[in-house]
Structure 1
Amino acid sequence: MNHRQRTATGLVAAATATSLVIAIAPTASADTLDQRSQKAAAGIERITGTQDLAASSAAQGAAARSVTKTESGAVTVQAPEDATGNVRTTAPDGTVFGLGLSQTKSVEGVRAGSGTIVYPDAADSTDLAVQPTTEGGARTLVTLKDKNAPTEQRFDLQLPAGAHLAANDSGGYDIFQDSGEGSTVLKGTISAPWAKDANGKDVATSYKLEGGTLVQRIDTNGTTAFPVVADPHYTWGIVSGTVYFNKSETRKIALGGGLAATIIASIPAGFTTAAGITVAAITTMANIAQSHKKCLKIKSYGKPGEYSGKQGDGYCR
């Protein structure tokens, strides 16, 4: 073989090797992403379990979409394509509650495990994940992989018009939406925060609100076993909550059964007279609440009652 032939053969071999590297590289990268996603999902599902995971499927403009039938109608949860997006939950009446994932890098969501949507390494030493749940909501999970992970996680809230949050006794928040003059409906909840380390041990954690941002603090220390999984879990659109009336409306209902009938007609779907909510029951309880200097509340599929204090975000005034 002469010099010119050896050079040509060498160039062909080099080009072939380069082509193989180019062809193999994307596959290796994809495999690595899949392995990381499966590992992250396995760690999360070991802590959360999978019994309440809602079935989901790929959808245009989303990493996954889940539709869950509830007693109030169908609730749709959509996990964003990218970790910088928002988890969107649509109630049966069309209202949308959104929760922005914690401050993140641009990472594609991958469905893994039994249905957990994972965003691996979406923040420093942190995986993010979304789990649509069967009661009509979602868990938005953070996994702190080591001691370098930030212990304060921030989630931007997108509330529909007329909605607001009020702290509840469990350490979470109730989500209310105005349903008419003098009344408000409990439309959803953000459950009390929790966090667990690699050994399943509880890690101290808490919420606070900063404007329209939910902030979760996770108190790791020198004895914490990493990774740590933490979870803001919310539901939205479950109308089987409670309608709260203020003192003025309570007084009007107590004085006239006709107004009570109007109230029944205006209550959202799911609060039915077939469930035992009658004009007489509402009027009687309004009188009782007024005599106690409290306010009327009506719970779906239950009896009217009275309330005061922080319930209804101070609506008893």
Structure 2
Amino acid sequence: MNNLRKTFLSSLSLLLILALVISLTLPTVANVKAMELANNESIETAKDIESITGTDEIVQSENSNSAYNTVVENELSTVKVPNKLEEPIQLTDTESPSESLGISLPSEHTDAEAIKTDNGTIVYDNSESSVALAVQPTDEGVKSLIKIKDATAPKEYKFEIDLPEGSKLITSADYLGEEYDTKEVFIVNSENIITSLFSPAWAKDADGSDIPTYYKVEGNTLIQVVDYNENNVFPIVGDPNWVKIGKCSAALAWFIGSNLFAAAKIIKVKKYINALGGFRESAKLLAGAATWEEKLKIGGSAFAGLAAEISGVAALAVCKK
């Protein structure tokens, strides 16, 4: 009888140990599968995004810490991309840290943590959301990308901007005037000078077709509206592309924002900026030629006109180098 009892207790102990092992193992297996699924989703999202954006503009960095997945330093700013989506992208001005700002991604659409691909795209994705988000640091700033997976996704995406004191978010239509609207969105300081900008909104579907899209501004919130329909091929990709103002850009920004020049002259400059495709493109042309004479030969008549209008402005001398 005693032997039988011992055998029973021994068997019971083994069963309890086995149950404990199983209970500890199953969640681990489930977690591994969940992680594999998340990685697969992120890899697929990165492929969809990079097939449209390419990877040439991505700046990679090995720098990271517990809070940030990636830390990229360039000539104009330091870009810190968070591990968790609820934290903003931190953008620190290299020369003026007080001009730093934050960009919060539309976190209501996914709660995934960051996964960085070999090409440097940082992806936030999960299988339960109709939207995935990604970040690509660049030499000029940072791209905040949206991947719309299917027609159940929203058409509006809100990016909360944590602005420096005294700064504001303003559309180019409000800043330059409706007639000279470049479709960009500017961040201007307390002196009404552009310090950084978001390039014109764009969106493409899986076939590479352009999708109607535009920005709205509500206080410190940048909203990208993507007006897709049932005829579009999913996924759809778009992005607010934040660009820090460089030296030539700053000089041009000062010219149109300082109110020190005749209204007729500023109107002409606004006209040329619009014709050249926007403030960012105009500044890049100014910075792209080796000499002032060369600047007059590139960009067609609009650029020649812009160069002629601002050629006597001392602040723009830096662009002649």
Question: Could you state the TM-score of these two structures normalised by the residue count of structure 2?
Answer: 0.70
Change over 3 Å in CA distance of 1:77–1:123 after alignment to 2: farther
Change over 3 Å in CA distance of 1:250–1:192 after alignment to 2: closer
Q: In 1, distance between residues paired with 2:200 and 2:317?
A: 23
Aligned to 1:50: 55
Change over 3 Å in CA distance of 1:138–1:300 after alignment to 2: farther
Segments of 5+ residues of structure 1 without an aligned counterpart are: 252-270, 277-291, 304-317
Which of 10, 23, 27 is the equivalent residue of 2:15? 10
Question: How far 1:162 moved relative to its partner?
Answer: 3.6
Aligned to 1:176: 188
The one-letter amino acid of 2:150's match is: D
The one-letter amino acid of 1:244's match is: F
Question: How far 1:218 moved relative to its partner?
Answer: 0.4
The one-letter amino acid of 2:318's match is: Y
Question: How far 1:187 moved relative to its partner?
Answer: 2.0
Runs ≥4 residues deviating over 6 A: 245-248
Aligned to 1:299: 316
Aligned to 1:244: 255
Aligned to 2:167: 163
1:227 equivalenced with 2:235 (yes/no): yes
Per-residue CA deviations over 1:74-118 (Å, capped at 9, x if unaligned) read 411111222122112112221212221114254322212411111
Change over 3 Å in CA distance of 1:142–1:164 after alignment to 2: same
Question: How far 1:59 moved relative to its partner?
Answer: 2.7
The one-letter amino acid of 1:230's match is: G
Whether contact under 8 Å (1:115, 1:131) holds in the other structure is: yes
The one-letter amino acid of 1:85's match is: E
Change over 3 Å in CA distance of 1:122–1:5 after alignment to 2: closer
Which of 112, 116, 120 is the equivalent residue of 1:115? 120
Q: In 2, distance between residues paired with 1:13 and 1:122?
A: 33
* Structure showing the higher helix proportion among its residues: 2
Change over 3 Å in CA distance of 1:170–1:22 after alignment to 2: same
Question: How far 1:298 moved relative to its partner?
Answer: 4.3
Question: How far 1:245 moved relative to its partner?
Answer: 6.5
Whether contact under 8 Å (2:201, 2:215) holds in the other structure is: yes
Whether contact under 8 Å (1:121, 1:128) holds in the other structure is: no
Segments of 5+ residues of structure 2 without an aligned counterpart are: 173-180, 263-286, 293-308
Whether contact under 8 Å (1:240, 1:301) holds in the other structure is: yes
Change over 3 Å in CA distance of 1:143–1:245 after alignment to 2: closer
Q: In 2, distance between residues paired with 1:246 and 1:145?
A: 41
Change over 3 Å in CA distance of 1:68–1:6 after alignment to 2: same
Q: In 2, distance between residues paired with 1:20 and 1:66?
A: 39
Whether contact under 8 Å (2:102, 2:163) holds in the other structure is: yes
Instruction: For residue 118 of structure 1, give the secondary structure of its aligned residue in structure 2.
Output: strand
Size of the alignment, in residue pairs?
254
Which of 77, 80, 86 is the equivalent residue of 1:78? 80
* Structure showing the higher strand proportion among its residues: 1
Change over 3 Å in CA distance of 1:23–1:5 after alignment to 2: same
Q: In 2, distance between residues paired with 1:196 and 1:247?
A: 37
The one-letter amino acid of 2:159's match is: F
Question: How far 1:222 moved relative to its partner?
Answer: 0.9
Aligned to 1:311: none
Question: Could you state the TM-score of these two structures normalised by the residue count of structure 1?
Answer: 0.71
Q: In 2, distance between residues paired with 1:244 and 1:11?
A: 79
Whether contact under 8 Å (1:89, 1:236) holds in the other structure is: no
Q: Quote the sequence identity (%).
A: 28
Whether contact under 8 Å (1:186, 1:239) holds in the other structure is: no
Which of 72, 94, 104 is the equivalent residue of 1:66? 72
Question: How far 1:247 moved relative to its partner?
Answer: 8.2
Q: In 1, distance between residues paired with 2:258 and 2:36?
A: 62
Change over 3 Å in CA distance of 1:23–1:132 after alignment to 2: same
Aligned to 1:259: none
Question: How far 1:161 moved relative to its partner?
Answer: 2.7
Whether contact under 8 Å (2:193, 2:258) holds in the other structure is: no
Q: In 1, distance between residues paired with 2:169 and 2:37?
A: 41
Per-residue CA deviations over 1:237-287 (Å, capped at 9, x if unaligned) read 423212127787448xxxxxxxxxxxxxxxxxxx9xxx99xxxxxxxxxxx
Instruction: For residue 240 of structure 1, give the secondary structure of its aligned residue in structure 2.
Output: helix
